[in-house]
C-alpha cells in the first residue's frame, strides 16, 4: 500500500473524538472545501450560460439569414436589391459543394406598411416551398404560418410582434403596403400570423410573404432571386466552406459577374463581436475562480502543517523522507479538493439544470435578445473544468509543501 496515501486518509478521516473535531484545522478544511466548491460552481455556471447565450443568439441570427448568403456584390450595403439567376442547375451546384447541407432561394423588397394612423418601413422577404421556415414557426405567437410557394401569389403576410404593436394590427387584419420606384406600387395583404424572435433589428423590419409576390414587385422573372441562403454542416468551419463555395460559383458563372458568398459573421459582425467578448469574460472568471480555490487551499495547507508539526516530526524521526511527508499532505489536500469538486458539481449543475427546466432567471428581451437566461450543458467542458481545477489547485500546493522540509524532528516533537 502507498504509505503517504494511507496516512493521509487516516488523518483526513480523523479519530472521531471531540478533540479531533475541535482542531484548528477543521474550520480551515471547511473553508478550503467551500472555496473549491464555490469556484467550480461559478465556473460551471459561467461556461454553461455563456455557451447558451452564444448558441441561442447564433441560432436566431441564422434563423433569419442562414450561415452563408450568396448575392450580387451590388446588393451589399445598397438599398436596392440586384437579382441573380438562381436556376435549378445553379442551386444544385451549390447544394453539391462540400460542407453545404441545404440551399434556399429568397427575394426581398423595401417598402412601407401603412394603416389609417401609422406607417412603418419594412423589408418584405419572399420565400418559396424550398425555404426552411422552422425557426419562424417555432417563434409564432398568433395565427399560422402559410405554405408559401414560388409560383403562386398568396397575398398573405407574416409580421413580427414589434410591427403588429406599432401598427395596431392583429391576425386577420388587412394592411396596405407601398413600394416606391419610378411609380408607387400598392399591395393589400392579409395578416396570416405574428412571430416574435426578440432580435430587435430583425423584428423591426422583416415581414415574410411568398417569393412570387416579391418578384412581381421587383419586375423579375421567376428564375431570379435576391440571393440564395445556405446552411452548413460545421459552423466552426464556416470560412473554409465559404472559400470552397467561391470556387464553385466562379466555375458556374465562368468568372463573369459572378455573385459572392458572405458568411453570417461577416454580415452581422457587431453581434458576433459581442458574443466573442463573452468568451473573454469567461476566461477572466475562470482565472479568478481558480485563484480563489488555490488561495483557500494554500491557507488550509499552512494551517494543517502548523497543526500537525508533531506528526511531521514523528514521521521524520521514524525515517520518513521530506518527500514522503510532503506527499502525505498533498494527498490530504487532494481529498479536500475532491470533496470540494463533488459539492461544486452538485451545486453548479443543479442550478444550471433548474434554469434549463424552469427558466426562473428572467432577462429583458430588448437588451439581451432572450426572455430567460439560456444554458448549454457540455459534459466534455465540465469534465475538463474539473480536471483543470484539480490539477492547477494541486500544483499551487507543491511550493508551500516544501515548508515541511524546514521542520526539524527534534524541535517538532517538542512543539506545542
Q: 220-265 pLDDT, tens per residue?
A: 998 899 999 999 999 889 989 999 998 888 888 876 678 899 999 9
Q: How far apart are CA 364 and CA 369, in angstroms?
A: 7
pLDDT at 18 over 60: no
Highest mean pLDDT among 13-22, 187-196, 249-258, 397-406: 187-196
Q: How far apart are CA 94 and CA 84, in angstroms?
A: 14
Degrees to nearest 5, angle at CA 94 with 262 and 136? 65
Looking at the fold, whether 149 and 43 belong to one and the same domain comes out as: no
In a domain? residue 135: yes
Averaged confidence pLDDT in the chain: 86
In a domain? residue 108: yes
From 258, 283, 303, give the residue that closes a domain: 258
Q: 122-173 pLDDT, tens per residue?
A: 999 999 998 999 999 999 999 999 989 888 888 899 999 999 999 999 999 9
**Which DSSP letter does residue 362 get?**
B
In a domain? residue 292: yes
Which is more confidently placed, 25 or 265? 265
Looking at the fold, whether 22 and 84 belong to one and the same domain comes out as: no
From 228, 258, 288, give the residue that closes a domain: 258
Helix (H, G, I), strand (E, B) or coil at 90: helix
* pLDDT classification of 78: cutoffs 50, 70, 90: low
How many structural domains is the chain composed of? 2
Looking at the fold, whether 160 and 14 belong to one and the same domain comes out as: no
In a domain? residue 140: yes
Looking at the fold, whether 386 and 310 belong to one and the same domain comes out as: yes
Range of the domain at 249: 73-258
Helix (H, G, I), strand (E, B) or coil at 276: helix
Q: What is the pLDDT of residue 141?
A: 92
Helix (H, G, I), strand (E, B) or coil at 121: strand
Q: How far is CA 125 from CA 32, 61, 131, 206, 227, in A?
A: 58, 15, 11, 7, 11
Looking at the fold, whether 80 and 135 belong to one and the same domain comes out as: yes
Looking at the fold, whether 88 and 204 belong to one and the same domain comes out as: yes
Looking at the fold, whether 173 and 83 belong to one and the same domain comes out as: yes
Which is more confidently placed, 408 or 124? 124
pTM comes to 0.82
Amino acid at each position: 500500500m502507498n504509505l503517504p496515501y494511507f496516512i493521509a486518509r487516516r488523518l483526513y478521516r480523523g479519530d472521531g473524538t471531540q478533540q479531533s473535531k475541535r482542531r484548528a484545522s477543521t474550520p480551515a478544511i471547511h473553508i478550503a472545501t467551500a472555496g473549491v466548491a464555490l469556484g467550480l460552481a461559478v465556473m460551471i455556471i459561467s461556461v454553461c450560460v455563456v455557451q447558451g447565450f452564444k448558441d441561442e443568439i447564433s441560432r436566431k441570427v441564422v434563423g433569419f439569414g442562414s450561415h452563408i448568403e450568396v448575392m450580387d456584390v451590388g446588393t451589399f450595403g445598397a438599398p436596392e436589391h440586384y437579382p441573380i439567376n438562381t436556376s435549378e442547375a445553379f442551386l444544385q451546384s451549390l447544394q453539391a459543394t462540400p460542407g453545404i447541407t441545404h440551399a434556399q432561394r429568397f427575394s426581398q423588397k423595401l417598402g412601407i406598411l401603412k394603416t389609417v394612423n401609422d406607417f412603418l418601413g419594412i423589408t418584405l422577404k419572399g420565400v418559396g416551398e424550398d425555404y426552411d421556415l422552422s425557426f419562424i414557426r417555432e417563434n409564432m405567437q398568433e395565427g399560422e404560418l402559410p405554405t408559401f410557394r414560388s409560383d403562386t401569389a398568396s397575398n398573405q403576410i407574416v409580421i413580427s410582434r414589434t410591427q403588429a404593436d406599432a401598427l395596431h394590427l392583429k391576425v386577420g387584419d388587412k394592411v396596405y403596403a407601398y413600394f416606391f420606384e419610378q411609380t408607387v406600387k400598392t399591395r393589400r395583404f392579409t395578416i396570416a400570423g405574428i412571430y416574435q424572435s426578440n432580435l430587435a433589428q430583425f423584428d423591426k423590419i422583416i415581414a415574410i410573404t411568398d417569393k412570387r409576390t416579391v418578384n412581381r414587385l421587383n419586375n423579375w422573372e421567376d428564375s431570379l432571386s435576391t440571393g440564395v441562403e445556405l446552411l452548413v454542416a460545421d459552423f466552426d468551419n464556416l470560412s473554409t466552406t465559404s472559400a470552397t463555395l467561391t470556387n464553385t460559383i466562379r466555375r458556374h458563372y465562368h468568372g463573369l459577374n459572378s455573385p459572392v458568398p458572405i458568411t453570417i459573421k461577416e454580415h452581422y459582425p457587431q453581434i458576433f463581436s459581442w458574443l466573442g467578448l463573452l468568451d473573454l469574460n469567461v476566461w477572466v472568471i475562470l482565472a479568478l475562480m481558480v485563484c480563489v480555490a488555490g488561495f483557500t487551499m494554500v491557507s488550509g495547507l499552512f494551517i494543517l502543517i502548523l497543526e500537525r508539526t508533531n506528526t511531521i516530526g514523528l514521521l521524520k524521526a521514524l525515517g520518513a523522507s521530506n518527500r514522503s511527508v510532503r506527499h502525505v499532505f498533498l494527498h490530504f489536500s487532494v481529498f479536500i479538493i475532491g470533496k470540494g469538486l463533488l459539492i461544486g458539481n452538485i451545486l453548479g449543475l443543479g442550478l444550471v439544470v433548474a434554469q434549463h427546466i424552469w427558466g426562473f432567471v428572467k432577462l429583458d428581451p430588448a437588451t439581451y435578445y432572450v426572455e430567460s437566461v439560456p444554458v448549454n450543458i457540455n459534459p466534455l467542458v465540465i469534465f475538463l473544468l474539473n480536471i483543470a481545477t484539480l490539477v492547477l489547485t494541486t500544483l499551487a500546493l507543491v511550493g508551500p509543501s516544501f515548508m515541511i522540509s524546514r521542520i526539524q524532528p527534534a524541535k517538532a516533537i517538542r512543539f506545542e
